[in-house]
A and B are shown apart, each in its own frame.
Chain A
Amino acid sequence: MKIRNLLAGFVFSVFAASSLASSGLTGQPAPDFALKSSTGANLRLSEYRGDVVMINFWATWCGPCRQEMPLLDELYSRYQRVGFNLLGVNIDDDSNRAMAMINELGVSFPVLFDASKEVSRLYQVDAMPVTVIVDREGNVRHVHQGYKPGYEQKYLDQVRALLRE
């Protein structure tokens, strides 16, 4: 009896968690966090209030991330001066590997290191990559799981809409 309840609870929580992963955050205030960046400075999400922020969770072992990041870099360089910010959050255990990949791809947006995976847990990240778009008020407006060619068009449209607010 007890075990079954336990099992049921476990199963439920698994499913609940995975379904929450995408829908749970949207519409809610984005959980605040501060992480060290590749430049050595600490960066805090709430200090970007007033701008549109895209948080991109990635790892060196994730193939689609490689495809996605240069496109995100383009987005960043184009819209940065009108109030758009991109924070890349790397979850590798070893930040050196991440640095190497950053240099290799030549991305210019800030990259933060979340080796302890605290922030990615906060954002219920369970697959790679995950892209979260936060509006000027600090609320999560869109969450994209994974990356397929063509997503960048969606990002573009969403970011532009939010920039107009």
Chain B
Amino acid sequence: MSRKLLTSLAAGLALAFAVTVPAQEAASPDADAARAASMARDAEDAASRDQFRQLDQDVQSLKKEVLDLNRDLFLLEEELLFPANSQVAFFISMDVGEYFKLDSVSLKINGKEVANYLYTDREAGSLLRGGVHRVHMANLKTGDHELVAIFTGQGPHTRDYRRGATLNFSKGIGAKYVELEITDRVKKQQPEFVIKEWE
């Protein structure tokens, strides 16, 4: 996580600097008008530059704060999720607008079934309220792997519902998290997996 942020920070900074440079090179053919225009343009530019600088500073401090946050989160994470370096943790979460009763989730990694969890009413309720279930921890070698995840449940009209998703992911040296979120954000009344990965 930290590496990615650093690279984007660097990119952002470069962009910031890049913006200010070209403004000084522009010259106009009509001297007075041009000058006036250029002076006006200069003024405008200066204003927008100031604004931008302000904004940028804000963003910077924000990012710093988020950085700090990350550090705190990292510590928490170790305590709550504590995966070993070689492991990949798979999580199930839910975010549905319409009623959906989750029945079961099954996971296959590289063709082999590694999890088949039946959710009780209580557990399904917990997911609806924001709980997140760590459904499986896999010891995987570094490299590429394939995940096939299927969930079943019942929609609002007690229709049996079944959906799946496939994820090709690569395992690095450190721990990895995969969150399989069952959500109907994208298509109303049609929940499906939205997969997020972290490292």
Taking the complex as a whole, does A directly touch B, i.e. does some CB pair lie under 8 Å apart? yes
Residues of A bordering B, CB below 8 Å: 34-36, 41-44, 47
Residue count of chain B within 8 Å CB distance of chain A: 9
Given contacts A42-B103, A42-B104, contact A47 B118 (CB under 8 A): no
Given contacts A42-B103, A42-B104, contact A47 B117 (CB under 8 A): no
Chain B interface secondary structure, helix, strand, loop or mixed?
mixed
In the assembled complex, the CB of A118 is this many whole angstroms from the nearest CB of chain B, namely 9
With a cutoff of 8 Å between Cβ atoms, the chain A residues found around residue B103 in the complex are 42
With a cutoff of 8 Å between Cβ atoms, the chain A residues found around residue B104 in the complex are 42
B119 within 8 A of A: yes
In the assembled complex, the CB of A38 is this many whole angstroms from the nearest CB of chain B, namely 14
In the complex, per-residue mask of B147-167: 1 if CB is within 8 Å of any chain A CB, else 0: 000000000000000000000
With a cutoff of 8 Å between Cβ atoms, the chain A residues found around residue B122 in the complex are 47
Most A Cβ at <10 Å: residue of B103, B117, B120, B123: B120
In the assembled complex, the CB of A42 is this many whole angstroms from the nearest CB of chain B, namely 4
Q: Sorted from nearest, which 3 A-B pairs have the closest CB atoms?
A: A42-B118, A34-B118, A42-B120
| Sample of 18 A–B contacts (CB below 8 Å) | A34-B117, A34-B118, A34-B119, A34-B120, A35-B118, A36-B118, A41-B120, A41-B121, A42-B103, A42-B104, A42-B118, A42-B119, A42-B120, A42-B121, A44-B118, A44-B120, A47-B120, A47-B122
In the assembled complex, the CB of A94 is this many whole angstroms from the nearest CB of chain B, namely 20
In the complex, per-residue mask of B115-136: 1 if CB is within 8 Å of any chain A CB, else 0: 0011111110000000000000
With a cutoff of 8 Å between Cβ atoms, the chain B residues found around residue A41 in the complex are 120-121
Chain A interface secondary structure, helix, strand, loop or mixed?
strand
> Which chain A residue lies CB-closest to B103?
A42
A36 to B120, CA, bound (A): 9
A42 to B120, CA, bound (A): 5
With a cutoff of 8 Å between Cβ atoms, the chain B residues found around residue A34 in the complex are 117-120
A44 to B103, CA, bound (A): 13
A35 to B118, CA, bound (A): 7
Most B Cβ at <10 Å: residue of A34, A35, A36: A34
Since A34-B117, A34-B120, A47-B120 are in contact, a sample of 17 more A-B pairs with Cβ atoms closer than 8 Å, ordered by chain A residue number, is A34-B118, A34-B119, A35-B118, A36-B118, A41-B120, A41-B121, A42-B103, A42-B104, A42-B118, A42-B119, A42-B120, A42-B121, A43-B120, A44-B118, A44-B120, A44-B123, A47-B122
A91 to B119, CA, bound (A): 20
A47 to B103, CA, bound (A): 16
A43 to B117, CA, bound (A): 11
A44 to B121, CA, bound (A): 10
A77 to B152, CA, bound (A): 33
A35 to B120, CA, bound (A): 9
> Which chain A residue lies CB-closest to B154?
A40
In the assembled complex, the CB of A40 is this many whole angstroms from the nearest CB of chain B, namely 9
